[in-house]
Amino acid sequence: MTPNVIVALIIATIKASCVALIFMHLNAEKKTIYMTLGFTWFFFMGLMGLTIWAAEDKPNFTVAPNDIPAVAAAPAETDH
């Protein structure tokens, strides 16, 4: 990340915090609201972490080498 992106993210975080605290009146809310926000943040970060972790867990669809014989077809049924 370039320094410009880091500074932009810091400014955006401060700006979002000010909007949440002042305009959404979260600075005067009760403790229950903060607990709810904390749980929401915790589970959101957990789900994002699982998504990033699972992105590396891709199936390996490699073709078998030619020296492995193919499965033979079953013989056709005949009348007895």
pTM to 2 decimals? 0.41
pLDDT in tens, 25-36: 877 778 888 888
**Beta-carbon neighbour count of residue 71 at 10 Å?**
6
Phi and psi torsions of 17, nearest 5°:
-65, -45
The mean pLDDT of the chain is 82
**The pair of three-digit structure tokens given for residue 71, joined into one six-digit string:** 């499965």
pLDDT in tens, 47-74: 999 988 887 777 766 666 666 656 666 6
**The pair of three-digit structure tokens given for residue 23, joined into one six-digit string:** 């305009």
Taking the C-alpha atoms of residue 27 and residue 67, their distance in angstroms, rounded to an integer, is 70
| pLDDT at position 10 | 95
